[in-house]
Amino acid sequence: MEAKPKGPFVPKYEDYQKVYDAVAKALEEHDNYDDGSYGPVLLRLAWHASGTYDALTKTGGSNGATMRFAPEGDHGANAGLKAARDFLEPIKAKFPWITYSDLWILGGVAAIQEMQGPKIPYRPGRTDRDVSFCTPDGRLPDASKDQKHIRAIFGRMGFGDKEMVALSGAHALGRCHTDRSGYDGPWTFSPTTLTNEYYKLLLEEKWAWKKWNGPHQFEDVKTKSLMMLPTDMALIKDKVFRGYVEKYAKDNDAFFKDFSEAVTTLFELGVPFNTEERWVFKSSFD
């Protein structure tokens, strides 16, 4: 008797956990990048893939991985994200059944959890789409702007004030690079660990315009080693935004809860899922 032929491979939770584990292992192995981790730039890739969503026309979002193509990959806001896409290539080669779109988001989930952030429930189901699905330039936020711009950009995705402030807490992580955005420096002293430090620093430090030839940004008066973008400072200038900053500065659990919820929504914008079920992956240190 012949062995029963296997049907098409249908990946399950365990298979996606294996991809998660491979990302976590690669993060640990490649600790010679930036402040010691690819985590921040992986998160930024997942966010820029998702943040192009337009609720009105239902275009953009993480379904498609269209940043692989020149028009979108070359948008100014995406400068430097090739580092994250290249980081994930060997993992895509090892698990060819996963789509780029699902992998980039899984990379973001793994980055957050491995940098000691909250659990981010995940659903697979994104498909890769061709170049004709690239979004127009200008859908991602411009750091030189104010609260009106933040509300316009994130409002277009369908978010409210609370989510806008919670999502901004991602700037506890990573740094600005002069050869990417033109801005320079990290927001916190621990740019590879997710905490509510960003909100604390916004409120507790004295910030002044940095004197340099680069774009307008703030630096902390005390050490001159930390930075804030004009859009970051808008969160404490605006009364409603400031209320949430104060809440998250006092309460890391509240930040983690709202951040996890908002990121889960962000990562799913515009994706036609076939399932309601979300999975929570084990972290490398669980």
> Catalytic residues, which ones?
48, 187
Is 241 a binding residue for ligand DDH by CB under 6 A? The answer is no
Instruction: Give the closest residue to 19 by CA, choosing from 220, 281, 254, 286.
Output: 281
- Considering only 87-95, 113-121, 170-178, 199-207, which stretch makes contact with ligand DDH by CB under 6 A? 170-178
**Would you say 235 or 249 has its CB closer to ligand DDH?**
235
Pair of tokens at residue 111: 């980055």
Is 166 a binding residue for ligand DDH by CB under 6 A? The answer is no
Q: Tokens 């399932």 correspond to what residue?
A: 275
Alpha helices in 57-126 (DSSP H): 70-73, 82-94, 100-114
Q: What is the distance between the alpha carbons of residues 187 and 204, in angstroms, rounded to a whole number? A: 13
Q: What is the distance between the alpha carbons of residues 198 and 209, in angstroms, rounded to a whole number? A: 18
Is 196 a binding residue for ligand DDH by CB under 6 A? The answer is no
Position among 23, 170, 201, 226 found at the interface with ligand DDH (CB under 6 A): 170
Give residues 81-140 in contact with ligand DDH (rule: CB under 6 A).
Answer: none
Position among 19, 26, 43, 91 found at the interface with ligand DDH (CB under 6 A): 43
Q: Are 147 and 234 in contact (CB under 8 A)?
A: yes
Minimum CB–partner distance for residue 254 and ligand DDH (Å):
17
Is 158 a binding residue for ligand DDH by CB under 6 A? The answer is no
| Dihedral over Cα of 158, 161, 166, 167: its sign | positive
Q: What is the distance between the alpha carbons of residues 203 and 242, in angstroms, rounded to a whole number? A: 9
Q: What is the distance between the alpha carbons of residues 4 and 171, in angstroms, rounded to a whole number? A: 52
Q: Tokens 């192009």 correspond to what residue?
A: 52
Identity (one letter) of the amino acid at 163?
Answer: E
Number of residues that bind ligand DDH (CB under 6 A): 24
Minimum CB–partner distance for residue 175 and ligand DDH (Å):
5
Is 167 a binding residue for ligand DDH by CB under 6 A? The answer is yes
Is 45 a binding residue for ligand DDH by CB under 6 A? The answer is no
Q: What's the DSSP call for residue 54?
A: B
Is 47 a binding residue for ligand DDH by CB under 6 A? The answer is yes
Is 247 a binding residue for ligand DDH by CB under 6 A? The answer is no
Minimum CB–partner distance for residue 112 and ligand DDH (Å):
8
Binding interface with ligand DDH (CB under 6 A):
40-41, 43-44, 47, 80, 141, 143, 150, 167-168, 170-171, 173-177, 180-181, 183, 229, 231, 263
